[in-house]
Amino acid sequence: MLPALRQIGRDLAVANPLDTQLVVTTFILGMMLGELVFGPLADAVGRKKAILAGLAIYVAGSLVASFATSFETLIAARIIQGIGAAGPKIASRALIRDRFAGEAMARILSLVFMVFILVPMIAPAIGQLITATAGWRTIFTAYLGWAALTALWLAIRQPETLPPERRIPIRLVPLLRNAALIVRHGQVMALTIAAGGIFGAILLFVGTSQAVFLDLYAIDALFPACFAMLALGLGLSSFVNSRIVVRLGMEPIARSGLTALVIFGSIFVLVGLATAGRPPLWLFMTLSFLSFTAFGFLFGNLNAMAMRHLARVAGLGASLISSISSLVAFLWSTGFGRFYNATVFPLATGFVAAGVIGLLALYYAGKSRAGEV
């Protein structure tokens, strides 16, 4: 979507250019709403059915978006897409939790996150090509086709990991009781907020990156290549994390990653102060690459650390963890993004704040002695 944002703004007569960030952030808002539903659903009907139901909703949102004639309709469609995307996101995490625990789960989540990040390395280039040749609406047709393909692949290849005897019927009182146990779990909530801050920092970059490259460095056509270079750092560190986490442990790696993010982000702020918020391109790319590398050591570990206490209610737990972290990410990226002023300051301060909040949350989680839900 990123290369198409300005074209969308022009075609749909968006008055404030900053509002085009909502095309990204409202998708996360919709995902947050869907996450509240798909966790209990995955516990009640199984992981595969929940994923397929989410993909069906995602397809519906893609259809609405492809025919949108106003920005408000497009935003509504993105929320629908986000609700649908919550199905695969939540149920797949529960599926992983069914089969793995501890560092082994962190390893798998790191591999998942690596693929999740490597895809955006080529996605802006694909989006730019589609927008230039067929218009931005065709991007949503591509989303629709990809959702159908993955649904078919899942239906054929993926066995169900939650047998009927382990399923939890959707009953309001037990659901609320289990949800209360999760929300009151100090370690789970601290790590969830930390993961939300990291996700929010990534979304902040995604939402403002096209404007940064265009406003500060007059880079337009080469934007996908620059974005891919930065995403490569995140993908590589996620892969390295998957190789070392079983040996070194999740907590030490996460602590080191958060410390590195604070250091790189602080250097980013100081460089911004020295250059009136417009550092040379090579320095911007270097600091962004290092910050993205730190992200790769965090996302899988923080989520696995939060999930390890939730074996009995993995679906509901994944639902609440993802929903709350998505809310934090939405507020984080939207809040810092609104301060974008054609400088790197909102981006750099968002990185530093995410690292500091993460370290505080990790410290609190380490002091808590809460047991398994």
Q: What are the pLDDT digits (tens) for 1-31?
A: 888 888 899 999 888 877 887 888 899 889 8
SS (H, E, C) the chain: CHHHHHHHHHHCCCCCHHHHHHHHHHHHHHHHHHHHHHHHHHHHHCHHHHHHHHHHHHHHHHHHHHCCCCHHHHHHHHHHHHHHHHHHHHHHHHHHHHHCCHHHHHHHHHHHHHHHHHHHHHHHHHHHHHHHHHCCHHHHHHHHHHHHHHHHHHHHHCCCCCCHHHCCCCCHHHHHHHHHHHHCCHHHHHHHHHHHHHHHHHHHHHHHHHHHHHHHHCCCCCHHHHHHHHHHHHHHHHHHHHHHHHHHCHHHHHHHHHHHHHHHHHHHHHHHHHCCCCCCHHHHHHHHHHHHHHHHCCHHHHHHHHHCCCCCCHHHHHHHHHHHHHHHHHHHHHHHHCCCCCCCHHHHHHHHHHHHHHHHHHHHHHHCCCCCC
Closest CA to 353 of 285, 240, 261, 275: 261
Structure tokens at 304: 């696995």
Q: What are the pLDDT digits (tens) for 206-242?
A: 888 888 998 999 998 788 888 888 888 887 888 888 8
CB 62 within 8 A of CB 147: yes
Domains in the chain, start-ordered, CATH in brackets? 2-159+170-367 (1.20.1250.20)
CB 86 within 8 A of CB 38: yes
For residues 39 and 314, give the distance between their C-alpha atoms in angstroms, rounded to a whole number. Answer: 8
CB 261 within 8 A of CB 347: no
**Which of 8-22, 99-113, 285-299 has the highest average model confidence (pLDDT)?**
285-299
Mean pLDDT of the 281-303 span: 90
For residues 331 and 325, give the distance between their C-alpha atoms in angstroms, rounded to a whole number. Answer: 10
Residue type, 339: F
pLDDT at position 318 is: 73
Residue 335's pLDDT band (cuts 50, 70, 90): confident
Looking at per-residue pLDDT, the higher value among 149 and 299 belongs to 149
CB 257 within 8 A of CB 115: no
Residue 315's pLDDT band (cuts 50, 70, 90): low
Distance of CA 317 to the CA centre of its chain: 17
pLDDT at position 369 is: 64
Looking at per-residue pLDDT, the higher value among 136 and 221 belongs to 136
Residue 97's pLDDT band (cuts 50, 70, 90): confident
Under 8 Å CB-to-CB from 196, ≥6 apart: which residues? Answer: 324, 325, 326, 327, 328, 329, 332
